[in-house]
A and B are shown apart, each in its own frame.
Chain A
Amino acid sequence: MNTFNVESKIFGSVAILYPKGYLNNLAAEGLEKECDSCISKGIKNVVLNLNGIELINSIGISILLGVIEKVKGTDGTLCFTNLSKLHSETFDMLGLTKYMKVYASEEEALAHLQGALG
């Protein structure tokens, strides 16, 4: 069963990723690779639009945290947008929102990133 895929687009110096499906360990590793690919192309700012994520498990969460740390380590920024009520609640319950930049929409995230980039 492979219920996960990720699409992407480049918006200026920002990569927007659209993961879809069940974010488990395998999927999160796939997402991590996609982020690595962006970083290798010199794109350090990534927006993860989680609108298409139906379910996420704790292993997927852990890998996402690793990606956050990795992007941060390159002086980049990883933003999360379009979280469902459940996912937002989950990250909050686990105390992880302090490590995440969360925005309601892609537009908000892009506006923040472009403002930060000057």
Chain B
Amino acid sequence: MPFSYIPKDQFKGREEELGFLKGLPGGSGIAGNVLLTGPRGIGKTALLHQLYRDLFKDPAGPIPFYYRFQSPSLKGSTFAKDFFARFVRQTVACYRHDESLAMNLMLPLQKLLYKATDPKLAFLHELAEDFEEQAREGDIHSVIRAALATPAAAAARLGRRFVVMLDDFHLADGLYEDQQADTPFASSLFMDSIDATSCPHIIACPSADGVSAGPASNLVLHGLAEDSAFSLFKDECSKLGVSVPGEVVELMKYTGGSPRYIRNIAGAFHRMRRGVVTPENFRECYAHEVAEGDTAYAINSAFMSHTGGRLMIRPALELMIRILEMQGMPSEPQKLCRALAMPVETLETVLDGLVKAGFVRAGAAVSIADDTVLHDAMRARYMLEVEGRASEIVREDIILRRFGPEGEAPVRFEVVIPSDVPEAELVAAKAVRQMAENAKMGPDEADRLQLAVIEACINAMEHSGSHEKKVFLTCTVKDGRLEVSVESQGGKSFELDSSADKPEDGAPPRMRGYGLKLISGYTDGLKVERAGSRARLVLLKNIKSVKEDHD
């Protein structure tokens, strides 16, 4: 509800935008419609709430009406009734200067109308009767139009303008009549009401892409300026008993100036019991936030709700990561499908949802939104959900990528080999050897690593016991070290305890069990990770130069 606004002294850095929306310095109210866009968490809703509060308290100005679309799919008749009821509630509340009435969603419409005792509000009863008749007899389009026409009708009867704020408007296309997606382009039903000059509309959504809002000024909310961001961060930390030295102001760049991210990171300091903000603490809290904290939760919730459910999570994550890693992709569906090995229908569903959510921009090329926190959160989700990495590894990766020195981002290759094709392990091993050479590993060390990778692949192929019949190899070069992970589905792989010891003197040779011994002998470290039914063996090899190799 619009009254969950931030106290005026804490609403920082948006004075100019608020003034624009109030028609300042012209001072005569709002001229025309406004499309308000910006990444999630940048403060669009907070700005609308502040505007609502200011207008609510101004008895001579326009009457504010705020409506937020809560779900990517909503039955049209339910929406229309809800829209109408909220409009009546907020109008009566504004007229009576009663904030509690505006927030009381439990009060039925009929009882609400009884409170509209002012003769000037008598027209609301007529509007309610007309609407209910439409709801009984009209089709879905008529009912929605009837609800949407209410502000203009009220403006005409009252002689006062209304400002209609439609928040998360990109979800309006999810309205349906009987079943989901049976009413495409539902947002076009709003055009008549948006065009009504007596009711300027402020339409808020993450991105202008795919949104039909008619002619409107475009107000893009960017991140807070560094000083405002730091001021907000200090205030939030102060409320939580966390001390913020002045010299950490430069860390605000990692938040993108997003008020939501700033608040969440401040909250992370409190939860992780860090009493003082230092660069090191900040990195830890940041990594925690984007991997597992409130920021991750908010981004993942939006991601889930826009990508069509649990079954679409993996293709959506793969698409996001691919776009991120390639810094853009050709937008032609055929090329995207080929690049991702994804059916057209799946790709179109996922891409449409990601565009509407503001995560991705579609145009001549498909590119990811310019939000580094989003990038990190998506990577973290991918590593956790698709690669099955441990949380600790994910946080370390985030810290290295985001806060490491320039040019030290890890280089990663991925190979998938079929486990039922003879000698497929050679393909993987030779690829890894080439990567080792590219990373300036000496030839002897690269040869040893190649043998170790062959054994790791054979182990995965022989013992996984899965129906997937694939082995996934990832080779990462970072910090002067090469890390090869070999992963398959099935729980019997990589039992390190079964490695063979050197045969004792005089004893006959052991006939099996040399594979893991060979792996451990030719690497500088080994880890076995298990996540659900997946098992992963991680081989670690320090990159020694040719000279060191020969020493």
A residues with a Cβ closer than 8 A to B are 1-3, 22, 24, 26, 55-59, 61-62, 65-66, 68-69, 85-86, 89-90, 93-96, 98-99
Report yes or no: A58 in contact with B426, Cβ–Cβ below 8 A.
Answer: no
Interchain CB contact (< 8 A) of A62 among B426, B447, B454, B511:
B511
Interchain CB contact (< 8 A) of A90 among B505, B508, B509, B518:
B518
Contact with A along B491-511 (1 / 0, CB 8 A): 000000000101101001101
Q: List 24 A-B contacts (CB under 8 A).
A: A1-B423, A1-B426, A3-B423, A22-B423, A24-B423, A55-B426, A55-B451, A55-B454, A57-B451, A57-B515, A61-B514, A62-B511, A62-B514, A85-B444, A86-B444, A86-B451, A90-B451, A94-B500, A94-B502, A94-B521, A95-B502, A96-B503, A96-B509, A99-B509
Question: Besides A57-B458, A86-B448, 14 other CB < 8 A contacts?
Answer: A1-B422, A1-B426, A57-B425, A57-B455, A66-B511, A86-B444, A89-B448, A93-B522, A94-B514, A94-B518, A94-B521, A95-B503, A96-B509, A98-B505
CA distance A62 to B518 in the complex (A): 13
CA distance A86 to B433 in the complex (A): 14
Report yes or no: B423 in contact with A93, Cβ–Cβ below 8 A.
Answer: no
A26 → B minimal CB distance (Å): 7
Report the number of A-B residue pairs with Cβ-Cβ less than 8 Å: 66
Minimum CB distance partner of A89 in chain B:
B448
Indicate whether B141 reaches chain A with its CB closer than 8 angstroms.
no
Interface residues of B in 49-99 (CB under 8 A from A): none
A24 → B minimal CB distance (Å): 7
Q: Which residues of B contact A56 (CB under 8 A)?
A: 451
CA distance A36 to B440 in the complex (A): 44
CA distance A65 to B421 in the complex (A): 26
Contact with A along B392-433 (1 / 0, CB 8 A): 000000000000000000000000000001110110010000
Q: Which 6 residue pairs are nearest across A and B when measured between Cβ atoms? A: A95-B502, A58-B515, A58-B514, A1-B423, A65-B509, A93-B521
Interchain CB contact (< 8 A) of A55 among B422, B450, B521:
B450
Q: Which residues of A contact B423 (CB under 8 A)?
A: 1, 3, 22, 24
CA distance A68 to B508 in the complex (A): 11
Report yes or no: B447 in contact with A59, Cβ–Cβ below 8 A.
Answer: no
Chain B: interface residue count, which band? 20 to 34
Q: Which residues of A contact B458 (CB under 8 A)?
A: 57-59
CA distance A69 to B511 in the complex (A): 11
A118 → B minimal CB distance (Å): 28
Tell me which of A57, A69, A85, A96 has the highest count of chain B C-beta atoms within 10 A of its own C-beta: A57
Classify the secondary structure of A's interface with B. Answer: helix
Indicate whether B136 reaches chain A with its CB closer than 8 angstroms.
no
Q: Which residues of A contact B451 (CB under 8 A)?
A: 55-57, 86, 90
B68 → A minimal CB distance (Å): 60
B549 → A minimal CB distance (Å): 11
Interchain CB contact (< 8 A) of A86 among B425, B447, B505:
B447
Q: Which residues of B contact A2 (CB under 8 A)?
A: 422
Report yes or no: B454 in contact with A57, Cβ–Cβ below 8 A.
Answer: yes
Report yes or no: A94 in contact with B517, Cβ–Cβ below 8 A.
Answer: yes
B515 → A minimal CB distance (Å): 4
Interface residues of B in 430-469 (CB under 8 A from A): 444, 447-448, 450-451, 454-455, 458
Minimum CB distance partner of A68 in chain B:
B509
Indicate whether B512 reaches chain A with its CB closer than 8 angstroms.
yes
Report yes or no: A93 in contact with B512, Cβ–Cβ below 8 A.
Answer: no
CA distance A56 to B522 in the complex (A): 14
Q: Which residues of A contact B426 (CB under 8 A)?
A: 1, 3, 22, 55
Q: Which residues of A contact B515 (CB under 8 A)?
A: 57-59
Q: Which residues of B contact A96 (CB under 8 A)?
A: 503, 509
CA distance A50 to B153 in the complex (A): 93
Known pairs A24-B423, A86-B447; A58 contacts B455 (CB<8 A)? yes
Interface residues of B in 239-276 (CB under 8 A from A): none
CA distance A12 to B444 in the complex (A): 37
Report yes or no: A26 in contact with B422, Cβ–Cβ below 8 A.
Answer: yes
CA distance A56 to B447 in the complex (A): 11
Contact with A along B312-326 (1 / 0, CB 8 A): 000000000000000
CA distance A57 to B454 in the complex (A): 7
Minimum CB distance partner of B500 in chain A:
A94
CA distance A3 to B512 in the complex (A): 23
A65 → B minimal CB distance (Å): 5
CA distance A66 to B450 in the complex (A): 25
CA distance A56 to B448 in the complex (A): 11
CA distance A55 to B447 in the complex (A): 9
Minimum CB distance partner of A57 in chain B:
B454
A76 → B minimal CB distance (Å): 17
Tell me which of B454, B505, B512, B514 has the highest count of chain A C-beta atoms within 10 A of its own C-beta: B514
Q: Which residues of A contact B448 (CB under 8 A)?
A: 86, 89
Tell me which of A2, A58, A90 has the highest count of chain B C-beta atoms within 10 A of its own C-beta: A58
CA distance A66 to B511 in the complex (A): 7
CA distance A59 to B458 in the complex (A): 9
